[in-house]
Amino acid sequence: MSDPSEMTSQALAAIGQAQSNTELERIELEYLGRKSGKVSAMLSNIGRLAPAEKAALGKAANEAKRAIEGALVARRAELEQARLADLAETEAVDITFPGPPLDRGHVHVLTQVRRQIETVLESLGYQVELGPEVETEWYNFEALNLTAGHPARESWDSFYFSPELLLRAHTSPVQIRAMQRLKEPPIYIITPGRVYRRDPAEATRLPYFSQVEGLAVDKGLTVGDMKGTLLYMIQSLYGRERKVRVRPSYFPFTEPSFEFDVSCGICGGIGCKSCRHKGWLEVGGCGMVHPQVLRNGGIDPTRWNGYAWGFGIERMAMLKHDVDDIRLFYEPDLRFIEQF
Ligand SMILES: [Zn+2]
């Protein structure tokens, strides 16, 4: 039987030198283990001792046990303290600290304006129609009364994959496709989407942009119906004080055809630098659908008539937000994009 005080000092020395919790667990088991621990072993022969010796040994064993337990607790605290100090040095970044909130972003200004236009016209009963951006020559030109060799084709020149296949120059092909699909008027649709033109990238035009066109086919429609619809749309988007006007123009797919203007929002129509002292800003073209275009869409022009209009979404966004360079809409410059 070993001497209790000598055993205790051995245990305390071992604990003091331990470098990990695993080591401490091993030492705890060695000395304090319920069955084979050294403190238990010390008491294994206690039954054979005289009462006075029994009491002395019991007391010594208890003291040894308490001393070892206390040393274990203290050493564990020391090791934990050292681990945290170590971590503070190697981990300059506190990975448990909550990070800054992420910016959520928002839809692009062109998408905002397109959705506003859709919302206004849907409230009038129009439906959104979409179509392919790669179109056939027939849908892009022929069906819209731009027959082969027609000089006006120049204005809608696009990019060709083959003589018959091209990037659409306007969303008008969707009007033809919609008439063919829906067959029976009344038809009230709008056709938003990307279009392509063989134009250089400048402050006022790009080789690609977004359009929204409208088509109404019904019985006895008039220029007044068209103008009223567009006035409602413009005032919904830009404010009740805006006025609209139409000027005679020419498009192969409408007869009569008009340019469509909105009164300048900055000077109210008096004339200023922004509207080049005209008081009016050009938005797009419109007119009564040419009978041949209705025929190409499978609609009988002796029974039905219609009006159509086509605006550039970038142009509408420029007028709404006083943007003077169309290229800004397609540049990844957050200083611009985050303003809307
Ligand atoms: Zn003005």
> 178-192, 207-221, 270-284: which range is least confident on average?
270-284
pLDDT of 213 reads: 97
Report pLDDT digits (tens) over 105-140.
Answer: 899 999 999 999 999 999 999 999 999 999 999 999
Cα 314 to ligand 1 centre (Å): 19
In this predicted structure, the answer to whether residue 1 has a pLDDT above a threshold of 70 is: no
Please answer whether residues 269 and 262 qualify as being in contact, where contact means their C-beta atoms are separated by less than 8 angstroms: no
How confident is the model at residue 141, as a pLDDT?
Answer: 94
Cα(245) to centroid of ligand 1, in Å?
A: 15
* CA 267 to centroid of ligand 1, rounded, Å: 4
Distance 311 CA to ligand 1 centre (A): 20
CA of 332 to the centre of ligand 1 (A): 30
For 236-263, letters b (16+ CB in 10 Å) and e give bbbeeebebebeeeebbbbeebbbbbbb
pLDDT level of residue 2 (50, 70, 90 thresholds)? low
C-alpha span between 176 and 145 (Å, rounded): 11
Confidence of residue 275 (pLDDT cuts 50, 70, 90): confident
Centre of ligand 1 to C-alpha 320, Å, is: 13
Per this entry, what is the length of the chain?
Answer: 340
Q: What is the mean pLDDT of residues 280-284?
A: 92
**Residue 248, CA distances (Å) to 120, 209, 287 in order:** 26, 25, 9
The rounded Å distance from CA 72 to ligand 1 centre is 86
Q: Residues of the chain with pLDDT > 90: what percent?
A: 68
Task: Report angle CA 196, 199, 205 to the nearest 5 degrees.
Answer: 85
> 263 CA distance to ligand 1 centroid (A)?
8
When computed from its CA atoms, the radius of gyration of the chain, rounded to whole angstroms, is 43
Give the whole-angstrom CA distance, residue 271 versus residue 244.
Answer: 15
User: Of residues 186 and 105, which shows the higher confidence score?
Assistant: 186
Does the structure show a pLDDT above 80 at 95? no
Position 225 pLDDT exceeds 90: yes
Using DSSP, state whether 162 is helix, strand or coil. Answer: strand
Residues 37-69: pLDDT tens digits?
888 888 887 888 888 888 888 888 889 999 999
**What whole-number distance in Å separates Cα of residue 86 and Cα of residue 77?**
14
Complete DSSP assignment for 165-181:
EEE-SSSHHHHHHHHHH
Q: Which residues surround ligand 1, an ion (CB under 5 A)?
A: 264, 266-267, 272, 274-275
- Taking the model in full, what pTM does it have? 0.69
Asked which of 151-155, 248-252, 256-260, 309-313 is least confident by mean pLDDT, the reply is 151-155
In this prediction, residue 273 has a pLDDT band, given cuts at 50, 70 and 90, of confident
pLDDT of residue 3: 79
Quote the mean pLDDT of the chain: 91
- Cβ contacts of residue 26 below 8 Å, gap of 6+? none
